[in-house]
Chains A and B, each alone.
Chain A
Amino acid sequence: MTSTDQTLPEGIQAQNRTIVVDELARVEGEGALDVKVEGGVITNIKFRIVEPPRFFEALLRGRMYSDAPDVTARICGICPIAYMLGAINAMEDAFDIVPPAPIKRLRRLIYCGEWIESHVLHSAMLHAPDFLGLADAFLIAKVNPDLVKTALRLKKLGNTILEVVGGRAVHPVNLKVGGFYRTPRKADIKGLESELEWAIGASVELLDAFAGFDYPDFEQDYLCVSMRHPDEYAIQEGNLVSSRGLDIRVADFPKHFYEEHVEHSNALHGRTREGEPYLVGPIARYNNNFEQLSPYAQEMAAKVGLPRIVKNPYQSILVRMVETLYVCEEALAIVREYEEPTAPSVEVDIHAGAGAGAGGDGSAARHLLAPLQPQRHRPHPQRHHRAADGPEPAADRGRPARCRAGQPRPR
């Protein structure tokens, strides 16, 4: 990673200096940062993920396929749906299950809830204080209580969607391979409608407020990698695409990308096979799939001055709010059309197989979760032998833990 002296504050230009931040505040998980400056030029940056490894990939081996969603949820309490649906997509791929449209729509709805909760938490409580020079959102509440109250109400709506569809906001219990354990009641889903109507305006309000921040003049030409779906703004399923024309199935991720274990970080570093770092997350999604946002979300993005291709990482806060606006509209549409599906899930025909799945992460550090490879999950419930007999295994290989792997995302 390199940079030039124009990006450095005046005080440390033309100096030799090492800056060490041992604890990054207002991020999910535990991270640290070392910056080395020589002659006013940054010569080395180490983004250290010091979050202790939990080895979920290894500990999932040999367990029932049906354990995968509930266990992978625990990778991250802020974006459990991304992990649950990544695991579910992989298992369904392995079992050749294509869930019916109503189940897909419900999954999209709960994902919208997670994006609202996670994006608003991130934007208003973790990121916004940086622009205001304040320690935290509690201090923003002292100078602008209405802004924080609006953000909290919007975040609460995201959590309410998670509760109505999934049973619980953090680590929902109602999702499984094949669909849901229980069909959400129509009355409960319809009960979300009026608050979602309010939420569209509230998202625009927050977008406008954040657009008034002072943005550093800094741009980088990122290689953007995200999911893409032919029919909709990709949230819960799709191919993997890049801003340079790559378009592959999720299962082919390892052919085009690799992940390296470096000494200073417990999270693996992801690169393309050509050795290039790439950007994931809201900006990558927005840049790759802008045309699939709703007309209103596109219009509001233009109104606050977001370019068609965002290159300024500080503007991720605005992109998050544009996505929040979009998922509020999307959730409202799903709620309005909702009819209870005839069955909460489809039958799972258990057989050995390979599968891959990805989830779009709404929250902090990244967007893509590496493919899960369930082929060595013990597929039969009645087998009594320890699965150490099979070849080596693994779920979610390469992404040790939570939203901390992958690319260092500038904040």
Chain B
Amino acid sequence: MADKPRLAVWKFSSCDGCQLSLLDCEDELLAVAGAVEIAYFLEASRTPPQGPYDISLVEGSITTPADSVRIAEIRRQSKAVISIGACATSGGFQALRNIGDYDEIVRNVYAHPEYIDALKTSTPISSRIHVDFELRGCPVNKHQLLEVVAASLAGRRPNVPNYSQCVECKRSGIVCVMVAHGTPCLGPVTQAGCGSLCTSCDRGCYGCFGPKEEANTKSLGKRISEDFGVGHRATADMFRTFNAGAEPFRREALRHDEH
């Protein structure tokens, strides 16, 4: 028992969906709970935190002064820190505050802005600490999550591809929604991993796995906004969803703001 690796799951600013993906591994959950000691997982257990930990899975983005301190302590207590999901890897939808008028945004939602103790920005975990691996997705793919945990336990690099969604569609034999139906799609600039969910549902990819390596967002942005007649504003919003803070998406959205 004492020899089992100790796993901790932490939540920052988020929807709980990524840590839920672990509990959604119904077929594997009891095996996971047998292979590791679940040392801290507040959503699932009342076991109090007591480090050190072998692996810390971190969900959510940094949005408060207190959380900036808490993440540093988690880093000190953990051999490996793996950030999971769009909030933790890019700041999440809430990172749209970074380009807005923060005070106005707070006033819009709360009657007493003076009660709110939050940062003006929402940033990924890697903005504060070194992370050992970033797993993309809004939410993460639970099979990839298990792979990352298994790889981390085995001390090897996780087998998580960083090529585009287009590769995945071709492999799955899914007819290209953009070529065949003229449906705007972020697949060419988005990292694969979801399992081709949107294109299987006859809709364009909305980029919830974030930018692929070396994404040519400029070319795709031009095609969507001009050739497909979506317009610059709606194109900017396509890049401004759950990975709005990821640099290639952030930059591309700004490009369309200029029009």
Residue B159 is within 8 A (CB to CB) of chain A in the complex: no
Task: Determine if A55 is an interface residue (Cβ-Cβ < 8 Å).
Answer: yes
Q: Are B200 and A138 in contact (CB under 8 A)?
A: no
Task: Tell me the bound Cα distance from A384 to B257 in angstroms.
Answer: 9
A366 interface contact, C-beta 8 A: no
A402 near B15 (CB under 8 angstroms)? yes
- Nearest-neighbor residue (CB-CB) of B115 within chain A: A263
Question: Interface residues of A toward B: which range?
Answer: 35 or more
Give the number of chain B interface residues (Cβ < 8 Å). Answer: 66
Cα-based distance from A67 to B233 in the complex (angstroms): 13
Cα distance A398–B12 in the bound complex, in angstroms: 21
In the complex, A54 Cα to B64 Cα: how many Å? 11
Contact check: which of B14, B93, B110 meets A261 at CB < 8 Å?
B110
Q: Is A64 a contact of B115 with CB atoms below 8 Å?
A: no
Contact call B198/A167, Cβ cutoff below 8 A: yes
Interface flag for A275 (CB, 8 Å): no
Kindly specify which of A21-29, A105-113, A352-360 makes contact with the partner chain: A21-29
Q: Is A173 an interface residue (CB 8 A)?
A: yes
B175: interface (CB < 8 Å): no
For B140, give the chain A residue with the smallest CB separation: A170
Determine the distance from Cα of A179 to Cα of B21 in the docked complex, in whole angstroms: 26
For residue A303, CB closer than 8 A to chain B, the reply is no
Name the B residues within 8 Å of A386 (CB-CB).
233
Assess whether B111 is interfacial by the CB under 8 Å rule: yes
Let me know if A170 and B45 touch, CB within 8 A: no
Please indicate the chain A residues that have their CB under 8 angstroms from the CB of B198 in the complex: 167, 173, 181
Contact mask A51-85 → B, CB, 8 Å, 1/0?
A: 11111111101011001001100111110100000
Interface set, chain B 188-243, CB cutoff 8 A to A = 194, 197-198, 200-203, 206, 208, 230-234, 237, 241-242
**Is A318 engaged at the interface, CB distance under 8 Å to the other chain?**
no
Given A28-B43, A54-B63, A148-B30, does the pair A76, B231 have CB atoms closer than 8 Å? no
Judged by a CB distance under 8 angstroms, whether B18 is at the interface is: yes
A126: shortest Cβ distance to chain B, in Å? 8
A71 to B242, CA, bound (A): 8
Q: How far is the CB of B12 from chain A (nearest CB, A)?
A: 8
Query: Is there contact, CB below 8 Å, between A167 and B201?
Result: yes
Contact call B93/A74, Cβ cutoff below 8 A = yes
Residue A30 lies at the interface, judged by CB distance under 8 Å to chain B: yes
A77-B15, A152-B29 as given contacts; A381 in contact with B109, CB under 8 Å:
no
**Residue A335 interfacial (CB < 8 Å):** no
Given A57-B108, A156-B26, A381-B231: A70 touches B206 (CB 8 Å cut-off): yes
Closest to A61 in B: B108
- A182 sits at the interface (CB 8 A): yes
- With both beta carbons as reference points, the residue of chain B lying nearest to A56 in the complex is identified as B93
Sample of 16 further A-B pairs with CB below 8 A, known A55-B109, A70-B206: A23-B42, A25-B42, A26-B46, A53-B116, A55-B108, A56-B94, A71-B241, A74-B93, A135-B46, A152-B30, A156-B27, A171-B17, A173-B203, A381-B231, A397-B109, A400-B110
Q: Which residues of B contact A (CB under 8 A)?
A: 11-18, 20-21, 23-24, 26-27, 29-30, 33, 38, 41-47, 63-64, 67, 92-94, 96-97, 100, 104-106, 108-112, 115-116, 118, 122, 138-139, 194, 197-198, 200-203, 206, 208, 230-234, 237, 241-242, 259
